């Protein structure tokens, strides 16, 4: 059984409506069928494709994705694409009963699983980064508060030093102090 490289599949998984999906045209290419065959399978089996398995992209969603795709010789798609969730891809494989569909679906399921594990790993990292950011913010505030206190202390010291300087300058020299009756040192 030939398995598709997950990198080829990963490039075809898009994030729409807060979920990972694959477009009908990408699935058709992977399965080796025309896109209209995928859409016929959906049309003929609507009970197998509830909204959480498959949905049609809105024009806005399609416009966002459009730049990633080449247009057909007809000048582009006539309809917005269908987007299949992981469960929708699996359900599609139950309808497209071929060896290729089975092999491709296995590869797709493995890729979705890898992406889920990757996302879980990064969720932990994201939480750790968030905690570190919060600590850094708190440390910045603590440092800012301390620096502000030091600056205030310097201002008070400078003002006190100026006042002390004025007082000393008023006292005068040692001879002037002795002249008014103050003696220096012990006089016993």
How confident is the model at residue 62, as a pLDDT? 86
pLDDT tens, residue order, the chain (188 aa): 445 555 577 788 888 898 889 899 888 888 888 888 889 989 999 998 999 999 999 988 888 887 665 544 444 667 889 999 988 888 888 877 777 776 777 778 777 777 777 776 777 777 788 888 888 888 888 888 889 889 888 999 888 888 877 776 776 666 666 666 666 565 55
How confident is the model at residue 10, as a pLDDT? 78
Q: List the structure tokens of 144.
A: 């800012």
Q: First CA to last CA across the chain, in angstroms?
A: 114
User: Taking Cα atoms as reference points, which of 70, 84, 91 lies closest to residue 17?
Assistant: 84
How confident is the model at residue 29, as a pLDDT? 87
Q: Where are the domains of the chain?
A: 1-188
How confident is the model at residue 14, as a pLDDT? 87
How confident is the model at residue 74, as a pLDDT? 43
One DSSP character per residue, the chain reads: -----HHHHHTTEEEETTEEEEEHHHHHHHHTS-HHHHHHHHHH-GGG--TTTEEEPPHHHHHHHHTTSPPPTTSS-SSPPEEE-HHHHHHHHHHS-SHHHHHHHHHHHHHHHHHHHHHHHHHHHHHHHHHHHHHHHHHHHHHHHHHHHHHHHHHHHHHHHHHHHHHHHHH--HHHHHHTT---S---
Q: What is the pTM of this model?
A: 0.52
The whole-angstrom separation of Cα 3 and Cα 147 is 62
The whole-angstrom separation of Cα 166 and Cα 161 is 9
């Amino acid at each position: 059984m030939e398995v598709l490289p997950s990198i080829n599949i990963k490039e075809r998984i898009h994030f729409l409506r807060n979920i990972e999906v694959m477009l009908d045209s990408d699935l058709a290419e992977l399965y080796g069928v025309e896109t209209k065959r995928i859409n016929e399978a959906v049309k003929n089996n609507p009970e197998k494709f509830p909204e959480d398995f498959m949905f049609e992209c809105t024009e806005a969603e399609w416009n966002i994705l459009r730049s990633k795709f080449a247009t057909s010789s007809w000048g582009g798609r006539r309809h917005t694409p269908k987007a299949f969730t992981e469960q929708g891809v699996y359900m599609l494989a139950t309808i497209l009963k071929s060896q290729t569909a089975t092999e491709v679906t296995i590869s797709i399921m493995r890729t979705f699983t890898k992406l889920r594990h990757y996302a879980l790993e990064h969720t932990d990292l994201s939480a750790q980064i968030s905690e570190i950011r919060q600590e850094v913010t708190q440390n910045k505030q603590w440092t800012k508060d301390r620096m502000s206190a030091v600056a205030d202390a310097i201002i008070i010291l400078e003002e006190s030093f100026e006042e002390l300087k004025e007082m000393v300058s008023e006292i005068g020299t040692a001879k002037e102090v002795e002249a008014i009756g103050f003696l220096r040192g012990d006089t016993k």
